[in-house]
Amino acid sequence: MKLSRIAEALGCGIPDAAADMEISRMASLASCDENSVVFLADERLAGKAASCSAPVLIVKKGRAVPDKINLEVDDPYLGYARAASLFEDRTPPFGSGIHETALIDASARIDDAVCIGPGTIIGEAVTVGPRTSIGARCVIEKGSLIGPDCRIDSGAIIRYGSRIGARVIIQSGTVIGSDGFANAMDRGRFVRIPCFGNVIIEDDVEVGALAAIDRGNFEPTIIRQGVRLDNLVHIAHNVIVGEHSAAAAQTGVSGSTRIGRHVMIGGQAGFVGHITVGDQSFIGAQAGVTRSVRPGEKVTGSPARDVSRIRRIGAAEVELPALVREFKQIKKRIDSLESTIEKGDT
């Protein structure tokens, strides 16, 4: 790939003589060579970057490294993301077209530009948009709709009636549209409650591997535009996740919870049902969220409380052993004084 293409994608200027330089890959400082481009997010590594083999660096504006071609950007990490996308292999993993072993119902509407891998099953009245790639042994159940330019990785299951927008990525082992966890009790025995809703995933969403998104009871479970869900995330029935929010691995969201826009959720966080998490809030890793969270609020811990308060509690806990020893010493002195006073009264 010519350096000029990378520079154009980042909106950077480069010397005219370097425009036709061939760059073959993104690399780290540890693994780069003379055909690499490296991003420098930590300015403390500038010295190491100056002596590395890579001729091209993505750096923060005004922080150029001597004797290198510098692609200066406002945010080197964002520059890395944009440059890396140019090198991603997006070719279908099992070749173009529809594999001969795929089973496709006659009523399904599959665009001519769709790629489908071996052993995949596509049910009745399914619609798949152009340039979507579906891997091996996927199951797309009846009545589902998948938009254009999606990537459905091998082993994913899209259950009946799901609606998936454009440019959505669903990684291997994930289930979209599983039944919600709903049961009544009759004399000590569970009675299953069926779900009549579906799942709606809007444009530009990415769902990691082995995630599960349950269908709604009556209304849909909705994942709004641009959301990022990591591996092993569970979204229960009737949850709504707002635009451009993100949840790290092993997060679990109970039914009918509303998560706002631009919410950042750390790994292993858990949410009770029927609460609201406000826009632009932050939920720390392993937080147990048992109440609604205000917009912009930062919480962590279990039960989740304000981050600054949790930090003060944590700092105090460090002092607890010394405080306990001091308390015991004081108590011993008080007991001794009381004993002396009692003897004096006698």
- Would you name the residues annotated as active-site residues? 237
CA distance 240 to 216: 10
Question: Measuring CA to CA, how many Å separate 303 from each of 236, 243, 310?
Answer: 20, 26, 10
Beta pairing class for 189-192 and 183-186: antiparallel
**Which DSSP string do the residues of 49-101 spell out, in sequence order?**
HHTSS-SEEEEETT-PPTTSEEEEES-HHHHHHHHHHHH---S-TT-SSB-TT
CA distance 25 to 38: 9
> Could you tell me if 70 and 50 are in contact, meaning their C-beta atoms sit under 8 angstroms apart?
no
> Could you tell me if 182 and 163 are in contact, meaning their C-beta atoms sit under 8 angstroms apart?
no
At 47, is the secondary structure helix, strand, or coil?
helix
Residue where the block lists tokens 């259950």: 159
> Could you tell me if 160 and 123 are in contact, meaning their C-beta atoms sit under 8 angstroms apart?
yes
Reduced 3-state DSSP string for 296-330: CCEEECCCCEEHHHHHHHHHHHHHHHHHHHHHHHH
